[in-house]
Amino acid sequence: MDRELQEGYVFETKRIKMELHWIGERNLTVAFQEPFYTTTHLIFGDHRVYVCDTFIGPDSMVEIARIIKENGHQDKPIVVFNSHADWDHVWGNCYFKGAMILSHRDCKTRMIIEWADELKKNQEFQRGTVILTPPTTVFDTNYIFEDDGVEFFHTPGHTIDSSSCYDHREKILFVGDNIESNAPYVNSLDFDTYISTLEDYLTREWTHIIPGHDPVQTDATLIQSNLNYLKHLSKWKVDMNSLTQKGLDVHLYTLSKLVEKIITVGIQKKVDAHYMEAIGVLEKMEPSEKSINYLKLFRRITD
């Protein structure tokens, strides 16, 4: 593989289109383009190859194995890391038979509990035969490979089990879905913890940040925009009129995910007011199955 192509290039097989981006001497980001932009990140350590997230099935990981071999690392043990248990990051685990699969403890729990339902809902997207392959090794706070200078650590935010990977030698940080363009997807009312995670990213020394569904970041712009969004969300004061269309779609989806949690803990006036505003936004949209479902859901809070 041509190491002069440092700024990224597109490689396409008959079935899979990928964008490869070298960072430093041993970090390679592989961004799958279809059916949605998703990253698998590789670190070629002295003693192991680290595969961060495995996309939507074993067929995708065939290409990762090819890339590992083409770079001369096929004889090293592979450590698979799951940044969180969402299906689009773990379905390729089953390709790496016998490998160490590493994650936060809650990731393994979520994967096992949610597997059947997520496979049923999203089976059209699987690439190859997907088999439940949960983590073999879990951690609570962090797990570090001292000899390779690679660390994995718990960073709850997008989900309670979200974790990140840090290459201490090349100062590269892989964050999974904790940051995302337009707005992050939020699954918990614990906004303060999510905010703390992003603030911690800002204190760390890094040259590049690798998100799960966005291109490589070389500055803190995306972290800061996500942080600002979360701070407004924590006060239920997100200005929906200022959001991009994709940002609005994400925000409405987040509100729908939080309804049951809000009902469980009780309703506050500022929460009620924000959902009333969201209903007003939806009522101005062209009716669709999604918008109608959102309206029914949101009215459970406001009625």
- For residues 36 and 244, give the distance between their C-alpha atoms in angstroms, rounded to a whole number: 19
Q: What pTM, to 2 d.p., does this model score?
A: 0.92
5, pLDDT greater than 90: no
Question: Span 241-264, mean pLDDT?
Answer: 94
Question: Is the per-residue pLDDT at 136 higher than 80?
Answer: yes
pLDDT of 76 > 90? The answer is yes
- pLDDT of the residue at 100: 98
Can you list the domains of the chain with their CATH numbers? 9-234 (3.60.15.10), 240-302 (no CATH)
pLDDT digits (tens, 9 = 90+) for 90-102: 999 999 999 999 9
Q: What is the three-class DSSP state of 166?
A: strand
Which residue reads 């009620």 in tokens?
A: 272
DSSP 226-274: HHHHHHHHHTT---GGGS-HHHHHHHHHHHHHHHHHHHHH---HHHHHH
pLDDT tens digit sequence for 216-240: 999 999 999 999 999 999 999 999 9
Give the mean pLDDT of 128-157. 97
CB 278 within 8 A of CB 252: yes
d(CA 176, CA 285): 32
63 or 6: whose pLDDT is higher?
63
pLDDT at residue 8 is higher than 60: no
Contact yes or no for 166/153 (Cβ under 8 A): yes
Judged against a pLDDT cut of 60, whether residue 7 lies above it is answered with no
- Indicate the pLDDT class of residue 15, thresholds 50, 70 and 90: low
Structure tokens of 112? 């096992």
Among the ranges given (12-16, 43-47, 172-176), the one the predictor scored with the smallest mean pLDDT: 12-16
Helix (H) / strand (E) element for 117: namely helix 105-122
With cut-offs at 50, 70 and 90, classify the pLDDT of residue 199.
Answer: very high
Work out the number of other CB atoms within 10 angstroms of the CB of residue 75: 8
Residues 6+ apart with CB under 8 A from 152: 81, 102, 139, 142, 143, 144, 163, 164, 165, 166
Residue 82's pLDDT is what? Answer: 98
| Average pLDDT, rounded, for the chain | 93
Question: 13 to each of 17, 125, 174, 199, 213, how far by Cα in Å?
Answer: 6, 18, 26, 39, 21
pLDDT at 13: 47
Is there a contact between 183 and 175 (Cβ–Cβ < 8 Å)?
no
Q: pLDDT tens digits, residue range 273-296?
A: 999 999 999 999 999 999 999 999
The least confident of 8-12, 54-58, 171-175 is: 8-12
* 6-31 average pLDDT score: 75
pLDDT at 165 over 50: yes
Q: What are the helix and strand counts (H, E) for the chain?
A: 7, 13
Q: What is the mean pLDDT of residues 4-25?
A: 66
